[in-house]
Structures are given as C-alpha cells and as structure tokens.
Structure 1
C-alpha cells in the first residue's frame, strides 16, 4: 500500500517470500534490515562485500570463523588488536611467536630458540 508521501508498506501476519532468477535492490541512501531472532545468509558459490569506509561488527557472545581453504588478509594500513585476556596461536601443533622487541617466555616444557641475536634465558 502506498501512502501520500510515496512510501510503500508491505505487511503480512506470517511470511513474505520472494522467488526470482535475480533479485536486485538499490537505495540512493540506506538499507536497514533487522530480525528479532536470527538472520541467515547463504551463497552457493561466492559472496562479495564492498564497503566505502568503515565496517563494524559487534558480537555479544562468541565468534567463530571456519575456513576450509586459505584465509588471506591484505592490509595497507596497520592491523591493531586489543585483547583483554589471553591470545593463543598454534601452527601445526606448535606455538609460534614473532616479536620485534623483548620477548618473555614461561613454559613448562623445552624451549627451542630460533633467534638472530643471543638469547638470555636465565
């Protein structure tokens, strides 16, 4: 139903379904979507997202990313992480760490040092 201001409102007591070969939505300003419970997205092949400025993601609980192939990041600026608790990185069952400054280690097992400079352990 169109109102006198040129707005169209569609209301249904249950479900609205759209089926087509292609669905294209374009807005000259904003697109807003929200759900009271869940939002699911699925693409049979690729999904691309292009953002002109800032991409913000807020997660109220845990966040998981599963990648079966290679995860590649291209960053032309800085990558900054602020972690209030521990960060653990494991590669092929081994803990790997690279730092440009001093590094303090506390391990219960053997430490293998691969440093370009003399290491002081005690």
Structure 2
C-alpha cells in the first residue's frame, strides 16, 4: 500500500538533495500542513468555495509531489484544473475522494518514515 502512494524515487531524490537525517522532520511538517490543508479543503467543499478549493488544491498538489505523494498531487492538480475551467459540479464531485486520498497518503508517508532513511 505504501509503495502505491509514496514514490520512492522522489524520496531518494530528496535524501540526495538534502540529507537522510532531515527526512523525518520534512515528513512531519508535510503531514501537519496537509492535515490543516485537508480541513480547510473539507470546509471549502462544504461551502462550495471554488476559489479556495482552487488555491488549496494547487498548494496541495505542489507539496504532495515534493514528498512523493504523486497520486495525491495528480488528483489535486485535476481538481485545480476543473476549478479553472469553472466546472463546479465536477469539482464538488471530488470532495470525498480528495480528502480520503489525502488521509491515506499521509498515513503511507508516515509508514515510510517508520522504515527510516539511510
């Protein structure tokens, strides 16, 4: 499950670009930020606030890709594109899928952190 939601190639590139010792901190920061972003998105979907969904989806897409949550990044980018295209009903149809995938992706990344980095 972890392998599907966390791109190990991106993790290894992060280790190469930074240092293995900082990975747990980067992941913890990402998870904390993504939890907050997911809450904001959940409310934005409930409020049908397309501008906020667009902004949060854009940011979620970028931060997720940076830490290997490629599937989440792709879905968030799709939601953002639908916002730009003003396809409100389609945007809103992704509400639960995006929130659920964010939760599963954070868990997968947390599991990857438990394995360690060397």
Q: If the TM-score is normalised by the length of the shorter chain, which range does it land in?
A: under 0.3
Q: Whose Rg is larger?
A: 1
Task: Compute the TM-score of the two structures, normalised by the length of structure 1.
Answer: 0.17
TM-score when normalising by structure 2: 0.17
